[in-house]
Amino acid sequence: MTVNDQNDVTARGPKYSAALTSLPEDLQPIYREMVEDYKFYALKRYGKAWVAYDVIADLVRAGWRSIKK
């Protein structure tokens, strides 16, 4: 199992699912993208891909979006 595989396990857990399903369908892809970006940078900076799923869902609801094209 690679580091990415290990870190993806939490993204399939109940907290991830609960936050994801609390969002309307049109916001769910944005949430998924933000979770992956957050995990990447948390892993890079701290060596652990810890994510506060509810906080990211709140940010998506508040209008946060990626500016990457």
Tens of pLDDT, residue by residue over 8-61, are 545 579 999 999 999 999 999 999 999 999 999 999 999 998 899 999 999 999
Under DSSP, the state recorded for 22 is T
Per-residue pLDDT reduced to its tens digit, 38-49: 999 999 999 998
Rounded CA separation 20/29 (Å)? 9
Residue with tokens 């699912």: 17
Please tell me the pTM assigned to this model: 0.79
The 10 Å CB-count burial string (b at 16+, else e) for 38-61 is bbeebbeeeeebebebeebbebbe
- HSE-CB at 28 with a 13 A cutoff on CA atoms is 11
